[in-house]
Amino acid sequence: MSDKNKDSSSRKFSSQVVDGVEHAPSRAMLRAVGFGDEDFKKPQIGIASTWSMVTPCNMHINKLAEEVNRGVDAANGKGIIYGTITVSDGISMGTEGMKYSLVSREVIADSIESVSGCMGHDGIIAIGGCDKNMPGCLMGMARLNRPSIFIYGGTIQPGKNHTDIISVFEAVGGHANGRVSDIELKQIEETAIPGAGSCGGMYTANTMASAIEALGMSLPNSSAQDAISAEKVDDCLLAGEAIMELLRKDIKPSDIMTRAAFENAIKVVIVLGGSTNAVLHLLAIAHTIGVDLSLDDFTRIGQDTPVLADLRPSGKYLMSELIKIGGIQPLMKMMLDRGMLDGSCITVTGKTLAENLKDVKPYPAGQEIIQDFDKPIKSESHLVILRGNLAPQGAVAKLTGKEGLSFTGTARVFNSEEETLKGILDGTVVSGDVLVIRYEGPKGAPGMREMLSPTSAIMGKGLGKDVALVTDGRFSGGSHGFVVGHITPEAIEGGPIGIVENGDKITIDAQRHEVQLHLSDEEIAVRMAAWKKPAPRYTRGVLAKYAKTVSSASEGAVTDKYL
């Protein structure tokens, strides 16, 4: 077989695998999976599918992968579908299994890098539908830095009576408080999740899908389409043509995910009132692609960026309702017109962000989901980076202002999420408490579990404005209330959160960006000297490996930072 063909310039990787007499064995094996003579001359596109029946977020993605494959073939490429994993935060929440959630982000990145790197794929299209597989997909594509596109699997429809998964979690707390009956709890359980798609509010999945679109790594509107819709099928088909254009122009993730693009993404996340997990994931993606991004950038950008979207969990509306009025494209056009976004950033369309937004129509008159700039929900970011003697290296809070701007209370200390949930449900936790949940960080848990069960139980019991919560773990995008996560250094690393005692006074001040433990420096030093590092909870397997290699949450909790 000749090494020369018309697509050689865009086949820099696959040609090394299939061209020439010496690669006849490779071609022989590929013939068995459907390659013909002409296919060996085409650019090969790895289609990374996160399909799985472990969660409704991803249960339809196999069908979307097939549509992507059709789109690639129609554009004269050769698509190759392969699988990577996903886990379900919503199902594992509050259990030991949730420790694998953030770990799965690294496994997904590793697997995409491994498969497409090994097989010589010239380009990559990845489809994700749940919290960790989206940043995991981007990190895998960033490591290889070959022309790439991300496709969002899409959002779920609302459940009966405008319910969603957070409704179920909060009903558990309501049940413990006697406000929700056994029958009512079962009815919510049976009807809140009607089918395929990611959790319906501006939780982590929809937050990250929006951030990725703002980064320029998905096609326009990919973040704002229902999981089961003609628009999502079109998104998949169009990706085939778009990836071939990226190959022709040799536009790679490093050309798209620039410093300016990350700032665009942060601004869009803030305006939408997005999840605290966006901080963790954007730091990780930036590290992977080689862009210098830090917690301080979120503070700087947040000072001039308002919250405009009235979306759950702290707001009223669901993503499916935002989709009906146009998604995030009109919002980005509004932001661009005000000079808030850098329109010169290149995107996976091969065009700039400004070119993509040029003909976008405004939201319909009278809509109430996206507020005007002169009447924001909050005049500056809800993602507040806090520092102080309880979090010397930083912490992340999601405060919309509805919770108040400061909270001072008495520490009630728990060494695990399970202990905390029990204390909330059995009445141990009372008004005025600051719940301290520690040893739940990236290394300590290990895996940095999300505290959705405790925060939802607090809301369900009617304590949302009466207690606060601080943790070296993190929060689901569905969490709301006076909550502070990502406390660094974490407890297992000797952070001050490890020496807090019941009855200590703690203040969280969003205006001053502080989280303070009311102890003298001398008392802190005495307690730190007496603190003993606990034995690791895992000594074998993926959780043990993760604990050994993971960086601080303030650095994105990546596993290749110090290699």
476 is catalytic: yes
Nearest to 397 by CA among 371, 415, 378: 378
Tokens of 79: 């698509």
Asked if omega into 364 is within 30° of 0 (cis), the reply is no
Question: What are the structure tokens assigned to 337, written together?
Answer: 């017109």
Q: Which member of 49, 104, 453, 476 is catalytic? A: 476
Type of residue at 340: M
Count of beta carbons in the 10 Å neighbourhood of residue 294: 15
Query: Hey, what are 29's tokens?
Result: 């094996």
Backbone angles phi, psi at 246, to 5 degrees: -60, -40
Q: Which two tokens stand for residue 172?
A: 């558990």
Do 355 and 344 form a contact (C-beta atoms < 8 A)?
Answer: no
DSSP assignment of 140-182: HHHHHTSSEEEEE--BPPPBTTTB-HHHHHHHHHHHHTTSS-H
Give the C-alpha separation, 429 to 410, whole Å: 11
Strands (DSSP E) along 180-250, which ranges?
none
CB contact set of 225 (below 8 Å; sequence gap of 6+)? 152, 154, 155, 231, 232, 235, 323, 327
- Reduced to 3 states, what is the DSSP secondary structure of residue 234? helix
Cα–Cα distance measured from residue 124 to residue 146, given in angstroms and rounded to the nearest whole number: 7
d(CA 51, CA 82): 10
Which has the closest alpha carbon to 480: 314, 262, 276? 314
| Token pair in block for residue 490 | 């974490």
Summarize the chain as % helix, strand, coil (round to 5): 40, 15, 45
Q: Which residues are catalytic?
A: 476
